[in-house]
Every structure is written in C-alpha cells, then in structure tokens.
Structure 1
Amino acid sequence: MSVRLGINPLTWTNDDMPSLGGDTPLETCLSEGKQAGFSGFELGHKFPRDPEVLGPILDNHGLSLVSGWYSSELLTRTAEEEIEAIKPHLHLLKSLGATAMVFCEVSRCVHGRRDVPLSHSPTLSEEEWQTFIPRLNRVADYCQAQGVTIAYHHHLGTLIETPEEIDRLMAETTPSVGLLLDSGHLVGAGGDPVAAQKQYAERIKHVHCKDIRKEVLEDLRNRDLSFLEGVLGGMFTVPGDGFIDYVSLFKGLRDSDYQGWLVVEAEQDPAVAHPLTYARLGHDNLQRFCDEAGLRVTQ
C-alpha cells in the first residue's frame, strides 16, 4: 500500500476569493510546489483546461494531475444535462491520468459569499433529497464507466456539510459515489475525521489534508462569520499547524489499504502565510505523519 502527496494551488492563489494571490502566475505555483516536494497538483482557476496544453506544462515540472473541482447543479439540471456539462472536465482528468474527481453540489452554496455567515448554510428538503440522490447516482455511474470516480466533497457552506448530511449521502447513494474526506471541513462542521475514516473506509477515494486553528474556528462560530471571513482570519492551515490528529487518521488509511492522494488544501491569505514556506511545512509534516503511521509514500 502507498500514497502520493499532492497540493492544491489555494496555497498560492484562491478560487473563491481571486484577489488573494491574484497576481501569482501558474508557473510560480507549480515550481514552488515541486520545490516543496509534492508529486502533483489539483486544478485551480489559472490552469489551462485543454489536456494537450496542460499536460506538457505539468510534465515540464515533473508533476502529475491529481484531480480537480467540479461544481454540480443537480437540483436544477437533470442527470443527463449534468453529464453533458461534466464531459469536458471528465475528459481533462481522464486524459491526464487522474482517477478521482472532486465533486460538489453548489446549488444555493454560500462559501463564496463573504456577507453570509456559515450559520446560514443551505440544507436539502426531503423533496430535494429525493431528486438529488438518483441524479447523483446516475452521474457517478457514468463517470465511473469512463474510468474516473466521483469523490464527493462535503464542504462548509454547501448542501452536504455536516456529519449527519454525509451519513445520509453515503447511506442512500450507490458505491459509484465515492467520498472525499476533508479533515478541515469535517472538523469545521463538528465532525471527527478519524471516526469518519473508519466508518467510510471503503468509500473514501480522495483525501484533503486541511488543518484547523481551533481558536479561529471558535471565533468564527461565536461571531457568526462567513466561510471567507474564516479564511481571511487564518482558520485553515497546513497539516501539523493546527490540532487535527493526522497520525491516527493515517493509521486508519493504512489499515484500510487506501492507495490514493493525500492533498494539502489549506487556503490562507498568501500575503500573510508565505506560500512556499507553508507548502514545505505541509509536505514535511505529511511525510512525517505518514512515516509515523506506517503509510508508505511514493513519487
């Protein structure tokens, strides 16, 4: 069993708040990510979406394409409409060797709105659950048949956020719907990543390693702030710089024979948190935690 270490460009330039790192070129993200020791990158808004263009760029840096975020709108689109919408993204991932897709339903989401507190995160009505699940299953079946598995991203400020919502999603979807386990988002929503890993070991297809500064999370909840205010306040950081127990989490991944990517995805203000410094810290801590857990890392 082995894992690979990747990173998301959010360390350098933010998709939800493009003003953060807006002037940082893609070349800087890739060269510094490689310098920090990572083997691959997830997509960001500065990445070309043509595999014939992006492939050589990644190859020049000795990097792999890990995965990429897809925003679904299954509450307003049929499964067939979503499949048509997803095809270019699916083609990009498949062409460049990525086997998992970061997938999130963004209908009524608030994580990109600085003026809306997380206490106002949307929820699914019973009728919407009955619409959403069959459509998601159909899209997931299609993607899996194409060689790419959906890894559903539970995310603060979206319809699937809390442990209870994750439980229902996993209970009612077919095995073609994988789970993206994001340590930071789960803790932020009141969950336990170690417990979730044990419960859904067979469904976990991708892992985001985002640590939490506990005092900032508590302040966000106490002052009823938004997701973006949390980001600006330093709620997220790289593994080992917060309070999440990654060694226990990784021991669970080892025991379940997880063989995918561990991805540092810790959005911070790059003007405050120097990207290369934090990329190196995140990589080195991940490697150390893997070593302690007996989880082998390969390039």
Structure 2
Amino acid sequence: MVIHLHRLTPAKVWLGVIPTLWWNDDFINIDIGIPYEQALSEMALAGYVGCGVGHKFPTDPKILRPALELRGLRISEPWVSTYFTIKAMKRHTLDNVDAQLDFLEAMEGGSDDPRRADLVVSEFGRAVNPLPVALFPNCPDFSEDEWKYLIEGLHEAGDKARARKRRLCYHPHLGTGVMKAEAIHRLMDETEPGLVNMLLDTAHQAAAGVDPLALATKYADRIKHVHLKDIRAEVVDEIHHRELSFQQGIEAGIFTVPGDGSIQTFPEILGALAAANFAGWICVEAEQDPAKANPLQYAKMGREYLREVLGW
C-alpha cells in the first residue's frame, strides 16, 4: 500500500482532542472533578488546536469562545444524538440539530478561519450503550421501517447542515443500530453523499469487529471527520466473555489513545485518507477513567504518536 502521509499537512488537517480523556460525557459519574478550564489548558499544552464539546463546557458562546481563543483552540464538533427510529422524536431531533448549528454560528461568526466545526451525529434510538445491559448481545437491529425513518431523518438533518455550510458526519457507535459492518455499509449505500458523510471512529469500529482500515479504504471520499482512538483487545474479549455493559467496558479500559493499544494500522488508515486528499479534523480520543489514566499524560501520548506518524 502506498502511503501519502505528506499530503496531510497542518494547513488542511487540524488535530483536536475529545474531552472524554478528562471526564465521561455519557456516564457523568466517571469524573474526578477536573474543571473545564483546566481541561482546555491541558489540551493546548498537549499541542492540540481544537476539541469536541464536553458537557462541562459553558453553553453560552460569549463565555466559551473567549476561553477557547485564549488558549488557541477551536471547536471541532458538537454531538447530536438522533432519535429518528423511535416514535415522536423526529421534530425534537431536528430542533436539536438547528440549536447546535446556531451554537456553531455563534462560536465562529465573524471569523474567516478555515477550521470550521462539523456536526457529528449518531442514531441512539433503541441504543443499549447507555444501559446497564450486556453490550454486544443486545445491540439493536433496525427494521425496514426504522431504516426508512433513519435515512429520511438524516437527509433532512444533512440538508440543514449543508444550508449552513456545515458537514454532517455520521458516527457508527457501539451499542447502536449502526454498529455492525453490514449496517455501516447499508447506511453509506442508502444515504446521499452530499448530505451524509462518515465519521471514522477507529476504536468503535475495531471493537465491533469491523476493520477500520477497510472502512477507511472503501469510504475514503466520504470520511470527513476522524476520531483516532485505540482499543485494548483483551478488554474487548473480556466484555464478550463476561457480558459487560458499555460503561463497564470503559471502566475496564477498553479504549486508549492511538499507539497505546491493539490497532496496528493507523499509518495505513491515515494513508488511505491522505490518498483521497482528506481535509478536516482528526481528533484523538480515549474514553478512559481519569482516576486511572492521567488525562494530560494520555493527551500528550496521543499527540506524540501523531507527531511520529505525520512528522509534525
């Protein structure tokens, strides 16, 4: 495989980090009390230029924007959990999409900086990852009607994002109806490329038994946002063997930063994206318990790994 990593330059690829190193945004009990200001300072200290939105962040852009600018940071993405596959939630979901797009305009208005945030979404209708149940055996499979509602809803959300000159990026996620390989392929096959892009999360895909390199190769042209995250394969095996929940898996250490776990193909994954002239956010992530994994230490580890791979 020819690797074109020289094409991934700081002028077109921006390295961010997701706040789940400092606290967990799904399970708020996984927290040691780190304030958002400390997290932002440590993100900048570790060498990142952007970050996802964490639940501890101020919701008022007049407060958050100066805090980010003080540290040379940008927002890489807000998260929207969609609920298109369950009853009476389409309007609420699209209202949330509008609210997040408004938030981004307030955060970036008046700036000509090309590092614009993407809108990251994932369908959480019937998802089991928030629940205290065995993760893998209970992952939902969507019915034909649910697939219809999901595709229609994503197209409407994607149209809203495109109208605001944003990219909607779909995040296949453990414990949801778009976790398995066949579901990811169906989502890509049935959605309009101009409206629905893919977010490649290397760890969520690898933990689900999906080869992230194969996805990066097949969908390089549609991948517009990346969460670069590693897995500990022995913990994935433990989740299967002991029938653990998603939260238990996180607490057991399923995830870590790239270069510290079991995925060996990060250079090839980045090479596949480079060959497709990828431009956008690549964000280091590791949903870890900060009481067990020092956030700044792991943030620096992830950034140093990318420095070794990319050369900057």
Q: Common fold, TM-score beyond 0.5?
A: yes
| Aligned-residue offset at 1:14 | 0.5
Counterpart amino acid of residue 269 in structure 2: L
The equivalent of 2:282 in structure 1 is 262
Residue by residue, what CA displacement relative to the aligned partner does 1:141-171 show, whole Å, maximum 9, x if unpaired?
1111111111001000111111111100000
The equivalent of 2:267 in structure 1 is 247
Counterpart amino acid of residue 269 in structure 1: D
| Aligned-residue offset at 1:77 | 4.4
Is the 8 Å Cα contact of residues 99 and 147 (structure 1) preserved in structure 2?
A: no
Which of 78, 87, 95 is matched with 1:68 structurally? 78
Is the 8 Å Cα contact of residues 111 and 227 (structure 1) preserved in structure 2?
A: yes
Counterpart amino acid of residue 38 in structure 1: Y
| Aligned-residue offset at 1:83 | 2.6
How do 1:1-299 residues align onto structure 2 when only pairs under 5 Å count?
A: 1=7, 2=9, 3-75=13-85, 76-77=87-88, 81-97=92-108, 98-175=116-193, 176-244=195-263, 245-291=265-311
In the aligned structure 2, how far is the partner of 1:85 from the partner of 1:282? 32
In the aligned structure 1, how far is the partner of 2:107 from the partner of 2:198? 21
TM-score, L = length of structure 2 = 0.90
Secondary structure, counterpart of 1:102 in structure 2: strand
| Aligned-residue offset at 1:17 | 1.3
Residue by residue, what CA displacement relative to the aligned partner does 1:176-225 show, whole Å, maximum 9, x if unpaired?
10100000000011111111011111111100011011111111112221
Instruction: Give unmatched runs, 5+ long, in structure 1.
Output: 292-296
In the aligned structure 1, how far is the partner of 2:266 from the partner of 2:159? 32
Secondary structure, counterpart of 1:107 in structure 2: coil
In the aligned structure 2, how far is the partner of 1:85 from the partner of 1:177? 17
In the aligned structure 2, how far is the partner of 1:127 from the partner of 1:247? 39
Is the 8 Å Cα contact of residues 49 and 74 (structure 2) preserved in structure 1?
A: yes
In the aligned structure 2, how far is the partner of 1:100 from the partner of 1:207? 11
Counterpart amino acid of residue 37 in structure 2: E
In the aligned structure 2, how far is the partner of 1:208 from the partner of 1:286? 13
In terms of mean alpha carbon deviation, does 216-225 or 173-182 score higher?
A: 216-225
Cα separation, partners in 2 of 1:26 and 1:146, compared to 1, 3 Å: same
Two-structure CA RMSD over aligned residues (Å): 1.5
In the aligned structure 1, how far is the partner of 2:62 from the partner of 2:176? 33
Q: Percent identity?
A: 39
Cα separation, partners in 2 of 1:79 and 1:149, compared to 1, 3 Å: farther
Cα separation, partners in 2 of 1:117 and 1:171, compared to 1, 3 Å: same
